[in-house]
Structure 1
Amino acid sequence: MKVALDTLGCKLNQAETERLSRQLLEAGHCLVPSTTKADIYILNTCTVTHSADSKSRHWLRLAHRRNLEARLVVTGCYAQRKPDELARIAGVSLVVGNNEKPRLLSLLQDTGCLVSPTSTNGHLLTPIKPRRTRTFIKIQDGCSHFCAYCIVPRVRRQEKSQPADHTVAEIKQRVSEGYQEIVLTGTKIGDYRDNGLNLKGLLERILTETDVPRLRLSSLQPQEISPELLKVWQNSRLCPHFHLSLQSGSDQILQRMRRSYSTVDYHRVVRLIRDVVPDAAITTDIIVGFPGETEKQFAESNEFCHKLRFARIHIFSFSPRPGTEANQMLDQLGAEVKRERSQKMLALAQESAESFQKQFLGQLIPVLWEMKSDGIWSGLTSNYIKVYGKSNEDLTNKLLSVKLIKTKGDGMWGENIGFSRSLANTPNKEYNIVNVANSEGLPAD
Structure 2
Amino acid sequence: MDSLKNQQTPKFHTFGCKVNTYDTGLLESRLAAARLVTQGEQPKIHILNTCAVTAQATREAERQIRRIKAKDPFAMIVVTGCAAQVDTDQFAEMRGVDLIVANSHKGELETIIKKYLVGESRERVFKSNIFKKLELEAGGGQEKEHTRAFLKVQDGCNSFCTYCVIPFARGKSRSISIRDLVLKVNQLYDQGVKEVVITGIHIGDYESDGEPLEALMEALLGKTKMPRFRISSLEPPEITDRLLDLYKDSRMCPHFHMSIQSANDSVLKDMKRNYLAQDVEDVLNRLDEAVPGVFIGMDVIVGFPGETEEQFQDTVERLMRTPWSRLHVFPYSERQGTYAVRLPHKVNGAEIAHRAKELRRLSEIRYQQEVMKQIGTTK
Q: Would the TM-score normalized by the shorter structure come out above 0.5?
A: yes
Asked whether 1:304 is paired with 2:309, we answer: no
Asked whether 1:14 is paired with 2:33, we answer: no
Partner of 1:267: 281
Asked whether 1:66 is paired with 2:71, we answer: yes
SS at match of 2:375: coil
Distance in 1 separating the partners of 2:278 and 2:88: 41
**Normalised by the size of structure 2, how large is the TM-score?**
0.86
Task: Compare 72-81 and 99-108 and name the one that shifted more.
Answer: 99-108
Q: What amino acid maps onto 1:18 in structure 2?
A: G
Q: What amino acid maps onto 2:242 in structure 1?
A: E
For structure 2, the residue ranges without an aligned partner over 5 or more in a row are: 1-7, 121-141
Task: Compare 77-86 and 64-73 and name the one that shifted more.
Answer: 64-73
Distance 1:361 1:138, change over 3 A: same
Distance in 1 separating the partners of 2:174 and 2:310: 40
Distance in 2 separating the partners of 1:154 and 1:98: 10
The question of whether the paired residues in 2 share the 8 Å contact of 1:73 and 1:94 is answered with: yes
Partner of 1:215: 229
Partner of 1:254: 268
Partner of 2:34: 27
Q: Give the number of equivalent residue pairs.
A: 348
Distance in 1 separating the partners of 2:43 and 2:249: 45
Asked whether 1:82 is paired with 2:104, we answer: no
Partner of 2:138: none
Partner of 1:318: 332
Distance 1:65 1:174, change over 3 A: farther
Equivalent in 349, 353, 357 of residue 339 of structure 1: 353
Distance in 1 separating the partners of 2:367 and 2:212: 32
User: How many angstroms does 1:9 deviate by?
Assistant: 0.7
Residue deviations 1:343-370, cap 9 Å, x none? 111111011112222222222x13xxxx
Partner of 1:400: none
- Higher helix proportion (structure 1 or 2): 2
Partner of 1:198: 212
Distance 1:129 1:181, change over 3 A: closer
The question of whether the paired residues in 1 share the 8 Å contact of 2:143 and 2:149 is answered with: no
Distance in 2 separating the partners of 1:243 and 1:25: 33
SS at match of 2:259: coil
For structure 1, the residue ranges without an aligned partner over 5 or more in a row are: 32-36, 116-127, 367-445
SS at match of 2:197: strand
SS at match of 2:10: strand
The question of whether the paired residues in 1 share the 8 Å contact of 2:203 and 2:233 is answered with: yes
Equivalent in 332, 342, 348 of residue 328 of structure 1: 342
Asked whether 1:42 is paired with 2:47, we answer: yes
The question of whether the paired residues in 1 share the 8 Å contact of 2:148 and 2:194 is answered with: yes
Distance in 2 separating the partners of 1:334 and 1:235: 47
Task: Compare 141-150 and 275-284 and name the one that shifted more.
Answer: 275-284
Partner of 1:413: none
Asked whether 1:244 is paired with 2:253, we answer: no
Alpha-carbon RMSD across the aligned residues, in angstroms, is 2.2
**Normalised by the size of structure 1, how large is the TM-score?**
0.74
Asked whether 1:281 is paired with 2:295, we answer: yes
Residue deviations 1:368-427, cap 9 Å, x none? xxxxxxxxxxxxxxxxxxxxxxxxxxxxxxxxxxxxxxxxxxxxxxxxxxxxxxxxxxxx
Q: What amino acid maps onto 1:16 in structure 2?
A: D
Partner of 1:437: none
User: How many angstroms does 1:172 deviate by?
Assistant: 2.5
Distance in 2 separating the partners of 1:320 and 1:101: 26
Identical positions, percent: 35
User: How many angstroms does 1:114 deviate by?
Assistant: 11
Distance 1:130 1:53, change over 3 A: closer
Partner of 1:369: none
The question of whether the paired residues in 2 share the 8 Å contact of 1:188 and 1:220 is answered with: yes
1:149-228 aligned within 5 A = 149-228=163-242
Distance in 2 separating the partners of 1:113 and 1:98: 23
The question of whether the paired residues in 1 share the 8 Å contact of 2:52 and 2:83 is answered with: yes
Asked whether 1:99 is paired with 2:113, we answer: no
